[in-house]
Amino acid sequence: MRFLNFITDHPRFVLLLVGAVTLIALLQLVDPVKRELKLEIDPSIDSLLPEWDPDREHYDRIRRLFGSDETILIALVAEDVFSEVTLRRIERLTKRLEREPDVHHVMSLANAVDLRTSDDSIELIPFLEEVLL
């Protein structure tokens, strides 16, 4: 009860104290000289897995095998994804992305394969080739 009385009896002091604490907290996040954030966001798994963790060894091996752990997803919104117009658009976009020098691999309907089995064989047919005939 005494604490509440102190707060209500000294509102300017309480506001000054809250302001000072807020300023100190803010200085931990912002560099006032450079006017930059000190806060860095590192979404990579590198910073999450300790060097001694067996999962880290597996992760490093997979990254060496595939070259990178960065993935970007591009979504195309259309009324009918399987219409010829939309599939041609996906095909053009896929080819354009594959030509980009920093793009390692592109997966889309344009380069997907349709796995077909017959009596004693398996056929891999490009999905769009079959659909757009």
Kindly report, residue by residue over 8-18, the tens digit of the pLDDT: 899 999 999 99
> What pLDDT does 133 receive?
63
DSSP category for residue 119: S
Lowest average pLDDT, out of 33-37, 49-53, 66-70, goes to 66-70
> What pLDDT does 98 receive?
92
Contact 3, 14 (CB under 8 A): no
Beta bridge partners of 125: 114
Give residue 96's pLDDT band: very low, low, confident or very high (50, 70, 90).
very high
Contact 126, 107 (CB under 8 A): no
What's the CA gap between 50 and 73, in Å, rounded? 28
Mean of all residue pLDDT scores within the chain: 86
Residues with Cβ < 8 Å from 91, sequence gap 6 or more? 110, 128
Contact 128, 91 (CB under 8 A): yes
What is the arithmetic mean of pLDDT over 82-111? 89
Helices and strands per DSSP (H, E), number in the chain: 5, 4
Which pLDDT tens digit goes with each residue over 62-90?
A: 888 877 777 788 888 999 988 889 999 99
End-to-end CA distance of the chain: 82
Claim: this prediction has a pTM higher than 0.85? no
Domain ranges of the chain: 1-40, 44-70, 84-131
